[in-house]
Amino acid sequence: KQEVTQIPAALSVPEGENLVLNCSFTDSAIYNLQWFRQDPGKGLTSLLLIQSSQREQTSGRLNASLDKSSGRSTLYIAASQPGDSATYLCAVTQAGTALIFGKGTTLSVSS
């Protein structure tokens, strides 16, 4: 059974710092991996989707990488801002099931 783990559970950084969020999964037979952002009390917003054949995806200050063979993905945030404060979740898609989510990393960026 697929399990998705995100470490750390919480992270606090000063504004301007570059940071990396980690996601690992136990079964490498995935179609894709998706990173989401969730603000308190809100739904999830899709940030990046990496297909299983891809190594990375970039959107603005965000860069997500995927190493399917080792079951790992990272989300790199450059020059962090207070507005980046949120919970970040990763999720994988496999055959025959909907997305399986990690529990998220709660990021706090202080000004």
Partner 1 sequence: SQTIHQWPATLVQPVGSPLSLECTVEGTSNPNLYWYRQAAGRGLQLLFYSVGIGQISSEVPQNLSASRPQDRQFILSSKKLLLSDSGFYLCAWAGTFNNSPLHFGNGTRLTVT
Between 60 and 95, CB nearer to partner 1: 95
Q: Site map for partner 1, 60-89, x if CB under 8 A?
A: -----------------------------x
Does residue number 31 form part of the binding site for partner 1 (CB under 8 A)?
Answer: yes
Q: What is the DSSP string of 16-56?
A: T--EEEEEEES----SEEEEEEE-TTS-EEEEEEEETT-SE
Among 1, 14, 41, 69, binds partner 1 (CB under 8 A): 41
Cβ pair 72, 21 in contact under 8 A: no
Please report how close the Cβ of residue 49 comes to partner 1 at its closest, in angstroms: 5
Residue 99 sits in the site that holds partner 1 (CB under 8 A): yes
Kindly determine how many residues on this chain lie close enough to bind partner 1 according to the rule CB under 8 A: 24
CA-based nearest residue to 90, from 104, 76, 80, 70: 104
